[in-house]
Structures are given as structure tokens and as C-alpha cells.
Structure 1
Amino acid sequence: MNSSTLTTNWEQLADLALNGHQLTYEQALSVLQADDDQLLPLLQAAFRVRRHYYGKRVKLNMIINAKSGLCPEDCGYCSQSIVSTAPVQKYSLLDKETLLAGACEAMNRQAGTYCIVASGRRPSGRELEQVIEAVQEIRATMPLKICACLGLLNDEQASQLATAGVHRYNHNLNTSRDHYDNITTTHSYEQREQTVEHVKQSGMSPCSGFIAGMGETDEQLVRLAFALRKLDADSIPVNFLNPIAGTPLEHQGRTPAMRGLRIVALLRLICPTKEIRVAGGRELNLRTLQPLALYAANSIFVGDYLTTPGQEATLDYQMIEDLGFEIEQNALAGDVPPVSACT
């Protein structure tokens, strides 16, 4: 379908999304293949949907790289993988005091969710206990939501994390099913789906997204977006590949900024009610057009990522203010903790 035939139809796609109807495959593909001069009308349609469900609020999240490197998986995008020669820090799981200090920093940065992320295939029993101990203390002393990202989980591990007070668990699909073997071979797409299902069954909020720019086609991106809709994750991180020297994807070019914005708009129209987070790689790929992403997305990370830097938090605050948007207040802010670990 020629994108020019849809010049006046973006609002119709917004109507479909707002009325609970799924876009057709052809309509979704037309979003990715729209001409650049259609970007503003497309973002306006996506903004109608975003504003309906989230107003002008922007949710802030902060990551701590709780365990770095030492990973046996061969994910082609990752500087921490066993096949990477990138010079990244390598260390075992951080101790409780360091994880608590990270939570304090998340509070200082106005983040509503603190994300504890560890490299590796899946957590060991000892690592799981360490995370649980830290989470329990954070929950007792700070009004923060906790997201964990520790790799593959079984149902028992998911239940343990949920009981400890973890609100959300992240495990990305990363790419489409039919492109997956080009990116990772040491675990399967199906195993990732299974982990998200264990998360859902445990009562934790499921978080699952992807990395754009890994050589996938438009058609594969559309199929991935529909897979995420079917998975029914509450939060969808939209990452853009940061091609790190020493990784198998180091020569992959960056995603053009206007294409990146079309990808974010696509996710808002296909998953209208979900938290859409512009995540890793936004600074490198969207560059000066970063603010426009918030007309479709309602969430960002503030601060650094795992092994790559983010922009200064003050620039994120300024971006939100200049848009006339506002930082979402922590949903747990009304809970007065008996003790503050940050004082």
C-alpha cells in the first residue's frame, strides 16, 4: 500500500485504537512506511491516543546494572555477552547496600520505578535471595516501585519475587520470532515468551519490549508489535540498537530519527493502553528529535543504561517542561515509610 494514499487517514487509525479495535497488518505497515512529510500528522494521531490514556504525564524509570558481564549467552547486540570483546566492567551481583544506594538515587532523580538489572541466563539461588533481601528493605523504607530483570525465570522464581514485593519484571522479546535466530542462538524466542507468562501468573506486572535496528524488516517489526499486543505486557520498552564496538552488530547503522519516531507511533497505535517507554539508544538514534517521541510514548529512562551513557537528567527534565508535559508522581508517594534508607 502506498503511504501517500493514507495522508488523511492517520486520525482513522487513532479512532480504531481508541475504540478498542486492532489495526490491520496493512495499516500497521503503512505507519512504518509513511513518507517523512507525514510524520507530524502521524504523531498527532498517536498523541490523541497517548493523551486519552496518560494525559501529559511522563513516567521516569532508573536502571542499576546490578551484575555486569559474565554472561554465557550470545546475544549479538549485547556488550556483556560471551561473544563480545567490548571493554565493559565485569562484576558479580552488587551487595544490598549498593542496591539500596541505587534506590536512593532513583528517588533523587524523581523516578517512579527502580529497575534492578543483572546479566546472565537466569538468576542463581544465591542471586535471587540477594535481590529479594534488597527488595524487601527498599519496599519497607522507600515509596518506589521495583522492576527486576534477571533473565529467564521459572514459575517458582517468579512467585518468590512477587512475594518479596517486586512490582514488575522485564524480559524483552527483543525481535520477531522469524528473526530471532539471527540475533541469539543460546536460548529461544519461546523461552522468552514462557518467562513472561510465568511473570503474569505470579501477579507481577509483565514488561516486554524490543530493540529496533538489528537488521529486521518492516514486516518483522509489525509482526513483533502484534506479538507484544497478544502477550499483553503492561509496559513496552522501545529500544534502538546502540552498535557497540566488539559486538557482532557493531557495524549495524543507527536507526534514522524519523524512522524511530514512526516505530514509537506504531506501538502506541497497536498497544494503545500500554506504557510505551522510549528506552536504550534514544539519545544516539533520535538525537535532537527526542522530544517528539513523547507525543507517542509516556515513559523514559532517566540516567545511564547498562553499559552506555544516557543524557544528563536535567536535560530530560527540561525536555519534559518545554513540551508542557509533567513528571508523573510516584503512585506510592502517599505511603509514608516507617524509616527512610536515604537519610
Structure 2
Amino acid sequence: MQTEIRNNWTKQEVEEIYNMPLMELMYKASTIHKEFQKTGEVQVCTLLSVKTGGCKEDCSYCSQSARYNTHVQPHKLMRTDDVVQKAKQAKENGSTRFCMGAAWREARSNRDFEKVLGMVSEINDMGMEVCATLGMLDVEQAEKLKEAGLYAYNHNLDTSREYYDKVITTRTFDDRLETIANVQKAKISVCSGGIIGLGETDKDRIGMLYTLATLPQHPESVPVNALVPVEGTPMEGNKMVSTWEMIRMIATARILMPKAMVRLSAGRTEMTTEAQALCFMAGANSIFAGDQLLTTPNPEEDADKVMFNLLGLTPRASFKEVKEESVSV
């Protein structure tokens, strides 16, 4: 009997799954992963900061906030040619999705936004899935990005509704949900997850997963980030979370949202190959490649190639979901 895709989870059900004995949880997640995904296939994404620092937001974990004195040197929007060159390098190194991040509170309909539309169009023409994270979007901006060829939009919830204002005060949890709704209206895939290690409780982690799993449409991609504490931010003293906490989040996300790509995101640098293997076993099937993840370190591509060979993993082809849908019609 096939596992049902549900959007009507109760918080208690999510809590019961999250609190299962770890080996049992991993087994259940792995079984569901095998039912809905091609095991051993991992989506390789590259993330580039196209406009860094100087952000007006006060996200307590972020090195790019203008409110904190961190190692990040602000720079304006990159030239289109330079971004396209980076995308070509990423494609040559095996990435099938190219994500562009701009440290904006919200996208504004100005020359910079028009430049980003041009970048999206050129990278889409290269046969890569294009993803962007530009802050808050209205429906019109989302539609323009879709027309330019944007495949996915990243807008993380970060944490639970209840803990949200302990992390960020310059925008609300509902602002985030509104942007996700605008992106879905424009028929763009949603990439939305969160960060653990912000000082939240298990209850908050459960609350965040509950919100994602009860959206009218599950995010196509769910990044699970471990906070990498950055000197100069209010959370510089936070402790790194354990591998087991990451596995619990990944496995629960996999069970709740079987069709989603669950991305092992920030914090991979601190993880051994063995730890990452357990995350893949628990249902993770997407990573960021390259030596930099926005402004925090990431394992270098060569190390990932060694790991892929060792674990028998293969990169997922771009636009796979679209191709499969067109074949089945």
C-alpha cells in the first residue's frame, strides 16, 4: 500500500514522529524515501551570493545584517557576465541547480531586479535549474521571475511561529508565509526549510516542520541548516548542533513530505563523511556543492566527489520532475 501524501498533519502526529526512537525513525524515513525517491540519487546545487551584506534585517544568526560587525564586506550586485561564468563553472563541476542569493529585505522593482531577471534568463538557457533568494516578493515580481525562467525560489521559515520573534523582529512569520504563497501562485517551486541551533526547543523544531507539512502544497525542496555561529552576530556563542539532531530533523521532514527534496545544507563542513552518510540514509537527497555557502564555509567539490564515489551516490539530472511529468501525460 502506497504511503499517502498528506497536508492535514496534526501537531501531535508530527511530535510523535519526531520523538520516535532514532533507529526506528531512520528506518521509517528510509523506507518512505525508497518509495518516493531514487535512492542514491542526490541533487547537487551551487549557491552564489550575487549581492552581499548591508541587509536592513536583524536576523540574529546572519553575517550579512548591516546591524552587526562581522567578517562580511558588503558588495553591490555582481555583473551579469561574472554570475553567468560562475554558473558555467558550477555546471562543469556537476551542479544541476544554480541558486543566487541577494542580501535584500525585499526585492524592489528597479534596475537591480531587472539585472537579476537577465541573469535568470541566461542561466536557464544553459539548461540549469535556476533558484533565487531575494527576500520578500509580491505576486507581480514572482510572475516576472517565472517569465524569465526561474525554477525555484528559496524563502526559509527559519524556525517556529512561536520562537520567530526571538530570532528576527524586522519582519513577521506571516510575511514569510505570504511570500511563499506569492511564489506558489506564480507556479514557481518553493524551497523552504529552517535552521536548527538558534536556541530553539524541540517543540519549535516540531512547530516549523508542522507549518511546512501543512502548507496547501508542500515545498518542493526543504533545506535543513545547522547554525554556523558567526562572530559579531548575537548568536556567535551558540553551540553547534549534533549530527543526531540533524538526522532527526531530516528523517521527520522526509516522512512528512515524501516527495520533497530534503537538503543537507549549512553545517556540512563540520560533519564527517560517516555523519553525512547517515543523513542520506535518513532521507536527505540534496546538497550544496562548492567551497562557500553564501558567507560560511562548505566542503570543497573534490571532497564531495570522493564522498559520492565512496557512498555510490549519483547526481540527479536537472528538470527531472518536469521531464517525468511530461512523459506520464
Please give the TM-score of this superposition, normalised by the length of structure 1.
0.86
Correspondence list, 1:1-343, <5 A = 18-20=3-5, 25-34=11-20, 38-56=21-39, 57-124=41-108, 125-140=110-125, 142-231=126-215, 232-284=218-270, 288-295=274-281, 296-303=283-290, 304-331=292-319
* Whole-Å separation in 1 of the counterparts to 2:186 and 2:11: 32
State which drifts further: 49-58 or 70-79: 49-58
User: Partners of 1:26 and 1:195 in 2: how far apart?
Assistant: 27
CA distance in 2, matches of 1:234, 1:330: 14
The one-letter code of the counterpart of 1:302 is A
Q: Are the aligned partners of 2:5 and 2:257 in contact in 1 as well (CA < 8 Å)?
A: no
Whichever residue aligns with residue 115 of structure 1, its letter is C
CA displacement, residues 198-246 of structure 1 (integer Å, 9 cap, x when unaligned) = 1000111111110111111111111110100122211111111111111
Do the aligned residues in 2 keep the contact of 1:32 with 1:259 (CA within 8 Å)?
Answer: no
Deviations 1:161-216, CA, capped at 9 Å, x for gaps: 01111111111111111101000001111111100111000111111110111111
Distance 1:286 1:191, change over 3 A: farther
Could you tell me how far 1:329 is from its partner in structure 2?
2.1
Q: Report the CA distance between 1:83 and its aligned residue.
A: 2.3
Gaps of 5+ in 1: 1-14, 336-343
CA-based RMSD of the aligned residues comes to 2.1
Q: C-alpha separation between the residues in 1 aligned to 2:231 and 2:310?
A: 35
Contact 1:257 1:286 in 2 (8 A): no
Indicate conservation of the 8 Å contact 1:159/1:202, yes or no.
Answer: yes
Residues 120 and 150, structure 2, Cα contact 8 Å, conserved in 1: yes
Displacement of 1:139: 2.3
> Does the residue aligned with 1:18 lie in a helix, a strand or coil?
coil
Letter in 2 for 1:305: L
Cα pair 2:10 2:210 within 8 Å, conserved: no
Shift of 1:138: 2.1
Contact 1:261 1:286 in 2 (8 A): no
Deviation at 1:130, TM superposition (A): 0.6
**Greater shift after overlay, 274-283 or 151-160?**
274-283
Structure 1 ranges of 4+ moved more than 6 A = none
Residue identity opposite 1:179 in structure 2:
Y
Given the superposition, is the C-alpha separation of residues 27 and 150 from structure 1 closer, same or farther in structure 2, using an over 3 Å criterion?
same
Q: How far 1:30 sits from its partner (Å)?
A: 4.2
Letter in 1 for 2:74: K
Distance 1:286 1:119, change over 3 A: farther
Q: Is the 8 A contact 2:25 2:252 kept in 1?
A: no
Cα displacement (A) at 1:24: 5.2
Look up the equivalent residue of 2:160 and give its one-letter code.
Answer: S
Which sits farther off after the overlay, 93-102 or 321-330?
A: 321-330
Query: What stretches of structure 2 of length at least 5 have no aligned partner?
Result: 324-329
Query: Cα deviation per residue 1:79-138 (whole Å; 9 max; x = unaligned)?
Result: 011222111121011010111011112202211110011001012312210111122222
Q: Which amino acid aligns with 2:275?
A: L
Q: In 2, Cα distance between the equivalents of 1:329 and 1:20?
A: 24
**Aligned residue type for 2:236:** E
Number of residue pairs aligned between Structure 1 and Structure 2: 315
Question: Higher Cα Rg: structure 1 or 2?
Answer: 1
